[in-house]
Structure 1
Amino acid sequence: MQAHHLPQVLAVERAANAHPWSEANLRDSLQAGYPGWVLIDGERIIGYAILMIAVGEAQVLNIVVSPERRREGLGRVLMECMIEAAKTAQCELMLLEVRRSNAAAIALYRAYGFAQIGLRRHYYRSDDGVGEDAFVLTLPLAQPG
């Protein structure tokens, strides 16, 4: 992902999420040097992912597929990119948060072997003003020692 991708990435983000990341969030991720990927069909971005790598850990910051292109295996493509990058960076594990209600994403993560290690109460913004819980999931990438 590069800066010139941001307008289309932001459009995908807004189409996919009731409470989307802002352009500033996306730009800050790029400026911080976090690896990001875009899926492009023709000249149109249809999905993206951003990963943060620090001190042996990789955190999935965002993974989004355009609503009309879901259930095509595109989330798997993005996960493969992130897992490979984390392994290349010699990370021992990957972490992520996922909305409790996001069954499709949870199924994807479980298919890769992610396991729940925690719960963050009211982590995500929601229309009810209370917030939605997030499951904290982790995937071991390397055996210790």
Structure 2
Amino acid sequence: MRLRPATASDVPAVTALEQELFGVDAWTWSSVAEELTGPRRTALVAAQGDDVLGYAVTLLAGDVVDLQRIGVVPAVRRTGVASRLLTELMEHGRRDGADRMLLEVSAGNAGALAFYVAAGFVEIDRRPRYYRDGTDAVVLRASLGTASCGRRTG
């Protein structure tokens, strides 16, 4: 598996995966196209040959990078695909000068919540009834540590 920048040719595969993973909250074809290629966005795909195994998109807004989405083919979950995508996007955010990453995840998605907590994210807020199915969004934040990345004192 390799990570590479997403391109317009990835729109069909990512749109199909969006539908499979997110149902009524899935991005439309045009939304996927905009997210993968739009300004201030970093979009990556995890690919094996011609197959898209996963994708992730961030949006840079000053010193904050917002994780818009991570999606992984269910058959390859828990194999490190999402971790690799997240790690690369966090590094990219650091290089772009961001000092934190924010995201929203469904309060009902225990697996995703555990994944993000293990990656260093902490809950900072909740958005009641944020998703179309009525579930709350949990707002999470992780420090990217641009000023002291990797250094410890004392």
Scaled by the length of structure 2, what TM-score is found? 0.86
Structure 1 stretches of 4+ with a deviation exceeding 6 A read none
1:136 aligned partner? 139
Change (3 A) 1:33 1:93: closer
1:10 aligned partner? 15
Following the alignment from structure 2 to structure 1, what is the Cα–Cα distance between the partners of residues 115 and 32? 23
CA-based RMSD of the aligned residues comes to 1.5
Between the aligned residues of both structures, percent identity stands at 31
SS in 1 for 2:108: coil
Question: Do the aligned residues in 1 keep the contact of 2:97 with 2:146 (CA within 8 Å)?
Answer: no
Aligned match of 2:27 in 21, 28, 36? 21
Change (3 A) 1:80 1:143: closer
Aligned length: 141
Following the alignment from structure 1 to structure 2, what is the Cα–Cα distance between the partners of residues 40 and 88? 23
2:72 aligned partner? 65
| Structure 1 unmatched runs, 5+ | none
2:89 aligned partner? 82
Following the alignment from structure 2 to structure 1, what is the Cα–Cα distance between the partners of residues 145 and 84? 21
Scaled by the length of structure 1, what TM-score is found? 0.91
Question: Do the aligned residues in 1 keep the contact of 2:60 with 2:66 (CA within 8 Å)?
Answer: yes
SS in 1 for 2:12: helix
Deviations 1:97-120 (A, max 9, x none): 000011111111111110000000
2:125 aligned partner? 118
